[in-house]
DNA sequence: ACCTGAACACCGTTCAAGT
DNA sequence: ACCTGAACACCGTTCAAGT
């Protein structure tokens, strides 16, 4: 076949874009070099000319989505801006559930690669604006970042199962809680005691309450 | 070859144990059915008779290691017990860095599978003993659990790179911080401002300070 | 410089056959 | 019931060849 014309020429960006679409549509397993070459109407060699390997492709997809989430303009008090940034990340991971495991994998290959520093920078700037002592900035920002990663990961996990499983949220939570209640009551008394709270909670609201818990701790500790 | 004698008979436990050893020694990529059959001196069919597939094997390995970490006896005030449990999980993930991505993957397949409930139960019991209103238990426990997952994941990522890369911690951190300082100073002012704190921090101590931040928030909020 | 597509090595999984 | 080992489908990656 002849070479591509300018209009449909391959580029790193077009490849990353197609990869994100495949990941969104079918999860992690949806992205293979077969599905990717099919969608881009090309061969594996063409992709390898633009991207060194699959790991880098996944890293680029992750960086792209996280970058977009952090790029939204936020204005308000530092506390409000932290809310907005955290919620942006939370929503991004919910819309792209493959981020859940991908963030872990990316970090395990290069922990201080591109994603972690960008999140630290965005959150940390607002932490420093809270008026707490400079000596606490790093630890405070770490705590927020870790919480955001952890909570977003759990939420993405839920979203992934809901998306691929076809059940709705209420059903899904009911089934999980019912499963606990079937567990040995002697072994899981706490889970049973919070069953009603789990049934009634709102994920985003709870996520923000967690942020507030940490911010309260940060500002309280800063005043000691 | 004849069937195995009783002494070296295969079992789900022996297979899981071997899998953990391979994962510890060579990371996620170190566990394949080839390496596993070789180590157990058997064929793939034998393993499939005891374990339904690789995903279940990884889930069992994860549950085993997390279960051990939560099984240690802890005594003290609720606050101290939360410290001990959190640190136990933190150390387990550091010793088995493959847990970092595995926890994310496991959760994304069945979010309320076996790991999350067990952690919730262990942490939650101590939260309920803190004397805060019952209505806050679920959110408080969630916040702690998410933070622990996130922080342990980051630490495992660091450990993985250190283990496979052969560099030592000081070198590794120096390189990361130097990389930031090479970044556009206009874009990463916060990272530059905390560079010294990063160089001097202790991972475990910082982790516990983060726990304290959240516990402070929990108890402060409980009193409102 | 950019792309094609056959080929390779490797992986998870299956299954007919053995004891 | 428990295990063997060849075979299969699939995947990431390479590379000689084309334009």
pLDDT in tens, A34-71: 999 999 999 999 999 999 999 999 999 999 999 999 99
Is residue A5 domain-resident? Answer: yes
In a shared domain, residues B101 and B206: yes
Whole-angstrom Cα distance, residue A102 to residue A28?
A: 9
Q: Is the pLDDT of residue A164 over 60?
A: yes
- Summarize the confidence of residues A125-136 as an average pLDDT: 96
- Reported as a pLDDT band with limits 50, 70 and 90, residue A222 is low
For chain A, give the mean pLDDT: 90
Q: How many domains does chain A have?
A: 2
More confident residue, B169 or A164: B169
Q: What percent of chain A has pLDDT over 90?
A: 68
- Residues B108 and B46 placed together within one structural domain of the fold: no
Are A42 and A91 part of one and the same domain?
Answer: no
Query: Can you list the alpha helix ranges (DSSP code H) found in B96-165?
Result: 99-109, 115-128, 137-165
Check whether residue B209 and residue B153 sit in a common domain: yes
Residues 98-137 of chain A whose Cβ lies under 8 A from any Cβ of chain B: 100-101, 103-105, 107-112, 116-117, 120-121, 124-125, 128, 134-135, 137
Is there a contact between B121 and A190 if contact means CB atoms under 8 Å apart? Answer: yes
Beta carbons of A156 and B108 less than 8 Å apart: yes
The whole-number pLDDT of residue A162 equals 82
Assign residue B216 the CATH number of its domain: 1.10.357.10
Query: Which domain, by its residues, includes B201?
Result: 73-221
CA atoms within 13 A on the CB side of A210: 34
- pLDDT surpassing 60 at residue A170: yes
Domain-embedded: residue A62: no
Is residue A39 located within the same domain as residue A128?
no
Q: Can you give the pLDDT at residue B160?
A: 78
Question: Is residue B67 included in any domain, yes or no?
Answer: no
| pTM of the predicted protein model | 0.92
- Once rounded to an integer, what is the mean pLDDT over residues A146-151? 94
Structure tokens at A215: 């911010």
Looking at the domain assignment, is residue A122 inside a domain? yes
pLDDT band at A2 (very low <50, low <70, confident <90, very high): very low
Distance to chain A for B8, nearest Cα, Å:
34
For residues B90 and B8, state if they share a domain: no
- In this structure, are A19 and A106 located in the same domain? no
Mean pLDDT in residue range A175-184: 80
Determine the distance in angstroms separating the CA of B47 from the nearest CA of chain A, rounded to an integer: 24
- What average pLDDT does this structure show over B54-82? 95
Q: In a 3-state reduction of DSSP, which class is residue A20?
A: helix
Q: Assess whether A189 and A137 both reside in one domain.
A: yes
pLDDT of residue B4: 61
Distance A69 CA to C3 C1' (A): 34
Clarify whether residues B135 and B45 are in a common domain. Answer: no
Q: A41: domain CATH number?
A: 1.10.10.60
In a domain, B57, yes or no: no
A7/A89 same-domain check: no
Would you say residue B68 lies in a domain?
A: no
Residue A58 in any domain: the answer is: no
Residues 46-105 of B with CB under 8 A from A: 97, 100-101, 103-105
Q: Report whether pLDDT(A108) > 80.
A: no
Nearest to residue A64, comparing CAs of A123, A12, A6, A10?
A12
Residue pair B121/B144 in contact (Cβ under 8 Å)? The answer is no
Q: What percent of chain B has pLDDT over 70?
A: 95
Taking only the tens place, the pLDDT of each residue in B68-80 is 999 998 999 999 9
Domain assignment of residue B116, yes or no: yes
A116 and A197 assigned to the same domain: yes
Supply the pLDDT for residue A13.
97
Q: Clarify whether residues A169 and A91 are in a common domain.
A: yes
Q: What is the mean pLDDT of chain B?
A: 90
Quick one: pLDDT at residue A1? 45
């Amino acid at each position: 076949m002849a070479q591509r014309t300018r209009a449909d020429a391959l580029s790193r960006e077009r490849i990353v874009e197609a990869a994100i679409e495949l990941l969104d549509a079918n999860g992690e397993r949806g992205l293979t070099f077969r599905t990717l070459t099919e969608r881009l109407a090309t061969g594996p060699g063409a992709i390898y000319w633009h991207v060194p390997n699959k790991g880098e492709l996944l890293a680029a997809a992750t960086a792209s989505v996280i970058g977009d989430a952090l790029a939204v303009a936020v204005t308000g008090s530092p506390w409000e801006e932290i809310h907005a940034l955290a919620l942006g990340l939370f929503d991004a991971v919910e819309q792209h559930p493959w981020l859940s495991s991908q963030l872990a994998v990316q970090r395990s290959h290069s922990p201080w690669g591109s994603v972690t520093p960008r999140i630290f920078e965005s959150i940390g700037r607002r932490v420093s604006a809270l008026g707490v002592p400079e000596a606490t900035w790093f630890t405070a920002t770490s705590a927020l970042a870790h919480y955001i990663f952890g909570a977003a990961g759990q939420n993405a996990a839920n979203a992934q199962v809901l998306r691929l499983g076809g059940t709705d949220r209420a059903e899904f939570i009911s089934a999980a809680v019912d499963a606990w209640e079937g567990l040995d009551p002697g072994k899981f008394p706490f889970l049973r005691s919070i069953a009603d709270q789990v049934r009634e909670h709102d994920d985003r609201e709870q996520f923000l309450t967690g942020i507030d818990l940490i911010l309260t701790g940060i500002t309280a500790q800063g005043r000691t």
